[in-house]
Chain A
Amino acid sequence: MVRRGLGGLVGIATVLLDDGLAAGRQGWLGRVDARAKLLGLLSVLVATTFLRNLGPLALCLGAAWALAWFGGLDMRRVALALLAVPAFTLALAAPAAFNVVTAGTPLVVLCHLGGGHWGPWRVPEFLTVTDRGLFVAARFALRSAACVSLASVLAAATRPQDLFKGLRGLGVPAAFVMVAAMMTRYLDLLLRSAEEIHLAKLSRSLGGVGVAREQAWAAAGMGELYRRSRTVAESVAEAMVSRGYTGEVHTLRQGRWSWQDGTFVAGCLAFGAALLALG
């Protein structure tokens, strides 16, 4: 159990982190300045959270896909995030469709529940899908899908290192960006040590181990992981001091904006405003 969880976690992190290698400067979207992409896509994303109607939400989702397609991104990598995450949000949103969660006019009667009370809750006569419930569920699913799509377009079109640079360029304090960058930088190392510790323990046992043993191991492993990450953190601090760090971070200045970057941001802002106007 622990092993499967870790393996999955390592897998996800590896995909996330390795994005940086593949997402070179492919397609015109890849070449847009990271600051422009951050600013533009984030403003559309914020607009999305205010939308109340299905139409504009669907439009936004479509726009994100179109941007990925015409922006020349590797569709397989985008699709991975685009498909996996909406499927998950659909599962979360689905319960809202039923009358048990959202009251409204019944559309479909699913089964007979028999009414009465179950603990503190009143159980309705029938389990139905309500019109209002369906709308709430659809809106939730659409909004999540749109947000996730926008975020994954940003992630697929920008290497993490440029994303951090972009954040700095937008006025986020350098020290804050450095901490965020280091967290992703060492997440990979941390997960790999976690897996190593677990495999090392596994390799010392033959055959299966009981659940209790495995849980005890997980706890011991956490302790070891903490010690290892402390040691790495100390060494990182020393390595920084050794190269002249005195408590204030100095970083490279940013490149200039091109007219394409400006156009991209203007386009995004206009689109976001249009969405808000539609409601």
Chain B
Amino acid sequence: MDKVFDFRGVSFAYPGREPSLREATFEVAGGERLAILGANGSGKSTLLHLMDGLYFAQSGEVRAFGQRLTPESVERPPFGPLFRRRAGFLFQNSDAQLFCPSVEEELAFGPLQMGWKEEEILRRVGDTLGLLGIAHLRDRPPHGLSSGEKKKVALASLLILSPVVLLLDEPTAGLDPRSQGILLELLDDLHGMGGLTLVTATHDLELLPHISDRVLVLGEDHRIAADLPTERALGDTGLLLSVNLIHAHRHRHGAMVHSHPHQHTRTHDHAHGEGKDHLH
């Protein structure tokens, strides 16, 4: 199982809309950490839905674990249930993901649909909650949790199935710096331990080095603008400008107003005509 995903010329449009994804072609290897980078509305969430077999390619072909994803193939055993177990999808909106009356039932939902034994499920619920340090939330209803706790419970509900791939849609959005840090460490550990494949959609440049080795950049024309190592993507100001992930930043130094491409992630030196160098 070296190829986890294989997209060939995949296009997808919501009913009555312009395509939200155009002719996407790329592969994801097992154990890879891939980021999908793009501005708001560029099609990141749509792409993740296609990878998770929730939407289906209208032209082109999506393969996962060597099998073609179609509405029939993701329902038919043995591939269907196996695929659902292997691929976990962390939704952008945790409230949508947590639909059970209690955290325990939330975690048990996936395994129950897979037909696991009850004693096994209850044991794994305990283990998984312990792993994420949220054992005390077991009997709580999800709606009363903080956003950070909701994210952890949502993640736990995926991890209990021991997935091979995690598809994460803006996993750190809305989390405070400490919760963000904890989540990133956790993902790092999971990747390190079990060779988990991580695919993360984000528009947060700061996050990239922590969650990816490779970046798929989506342009605002809904095409893949670039597919390159994270280091190079972050250094390519022209590319980031062209997909509107950074903006020309206008500011004033004394009497002089000027603008230059600006990235809020790192400090940089630059010089003005009068030779006054400074740091942002």
For residue B171, give the distance in angstroms from its CB to the closest CB of chain A: 15
Contact of A246 among B49, B75, B122 (CB under 8 A): B75
Of all chain B residues, the one with the shortest Cβ separation from A250 is B112
Assess the B113–A160 pair: CB atoms within 8 A: no
Interchain CB contact under 8 A, A232 and B96: yes
Q: Is the CB of B101 within 8 A of A164?
A: yes
On chain A, the residues within 8 Å of B122 by CB distance are 252
Interface residues of B in 122-158 (CB under 8 A from A): 122, 139-144, 157-158
Contacts across chains A and B counted by CB atoms under 8 Å: 95
A274 to chain B, nearest CB (A): 35
Does B84 make an interface contact (CB < 8 A)? Answer: yes
Residues 156-189 of chain B, each 1 if its beta carbon lies under 8 Å from chain A, else 0:
0110010000000000000000000000000000
Q: Assess whether A243 is in contact with B109, with CB atoms less than 8 Å apart.
A: yes
Whether B112 contacts A251 by the Cβ 8 Å rule is yes
Does B121 touch A at the CB level, under 8 Å? yes
Interface residue A171 (Cβ < 8 Å from any Cβ of B): no
| A236 and B99 form a contact (CB under 8 A) | yes
Q: A20 an interface residue at 8 Å Cβ cutoff? A: yes
Q: Which A residues lie within 8 Å of B95 (CB)?
A: 189, 232
- Give the residues in chain A near B99, CB-CB below 8 Å: 182, 185, 236, 239-240
Contact of A53 with B by CB under 8 A? no
Q: Are A246 and B105 in contact (CB under 8 A)?
A: no
Interface segment, one of B32-40, B85-93, B192-200, B236-244: B85-93
**A21 located at the interface, meaning its Cβ lies under 8 Å from any Cβ of chain B in the complex:** yes
Is A17 close to B, CB under 8 A? yes
| Contact indicator B85/A181 (Cβ below 8 Å) | no
Q: Contact at B100–A238, with CB atoms within 8 Å?
A: no
Query: Would you list which residues of chain A between 155 and 174 have a CB under 8 Å from chain B?
Result: 159-161, 164-165
Q: Does B220 contact A (CB under 8 A)?
A: no
Nearest CB of chain B from residue A156's CB, rounded to whole Å: 16
For residue A246, which residue of chain B has the nearest CB?
B75
Q: A185–B81 contact, CB under 8 A?
A: no
Q: Is the C-beta of A253 less than 8 angstroms from some C-beta in chain B?
A: yes
A244 near B105 (CB under 8 angstroms)? no
With A160-B101, A161-B105, A243-B157 already in contact, the answer to whether A252 and B121 are too (CB < 8 A) is: yes
Per the 8 Å Cβ criterion, residues 51-107 of B in contact with A are 52, 54, 75, 80-81, 84-85, 87-89, 91, 93, 95-97, 99-102, 104-105
Cβ–Cβ contact A243 & B96, under 8 A: no
- Cβ contact of A238, chosen from B49, B75, B110, B114, cutoff 8 A: B49
Select A161's contact among B85, B109, B141, beta carbons within 8 Å: B141
A252-B108 in contact given A161-B101, A182-B99, A243-B161 (Cβ < 8 Å): yes
Whether B16 is near chain A, meaning CB under 8 Å from some CB there, is no
A18 CB contacts on chain B under 8 angstroms: 144
Q: How far is the CA of A165 from the CA of B280 in the complex (A)?
A: 57
Cα A160 to Cα B101 with chains together (Å): 8
A203 on interface, CB distance cutoff 8 Å: no
In A29-67, the 8 Å CB interface with B consists of: none
Alpha-carbon gap, A161 to B99, bound state (A) = 12
State the Cβ distance, A16 to closest chain B Cβ, in Å. 12
> Is B118 at the interface (CB under 8 A from chain A)?
yes
Quote the shortest CB–CB distance from B130 to chain A (angstroms). Answer: 19
**Which residues in B have some Cβ–Cβ distance to A below 8 Å?**
49, 52, 54, 75, 80-81, 84-85, 87-89, 91, 93, 95-97, 99-102, 104-105, 108-110, 112-115, 118, 121-122, 139-144, 157-158, 161
Could you tell me which A residues sit within 8 Å of B by CB distance?
17-18, 20-21, 159-161, 164-165, 181-182, 184-185, 188-189, 232, 235-236, 238-246, 250-253
Could you jot down 17 A-B contacts, CB within 8 Å? A17-B141, A20-B141, A21-B140, A21-B141, A161-B139, A181-B100, A189-B143, A238-B49, A239-B89, A239-B91, A239-B99, A240-B99, A243-B113, A244-B85, A244-B114, A244-B161, A252-B118
Known: A20-B141, A236-B97, A252-B121. 18 other contacts (CB 8 A): A18-B144, A161-B101, A161-B102, A161-B141, A181-B101, A184-B101, A189-B143, A232-B96, A236-B96, A241-B54, A242-B52, A242-B88, A243-B109, A243-B110, A243-B161, A251-B105, A251-B108, A252-B118
In the complex, the 9 A-B pairs of residues with the closest C-beta atoms, listed nearest first: A235-B96, A161-B101, A244-B113, A243-B110, A161-B102, A250-B112, A244-B84, A239-B97, A242-B89
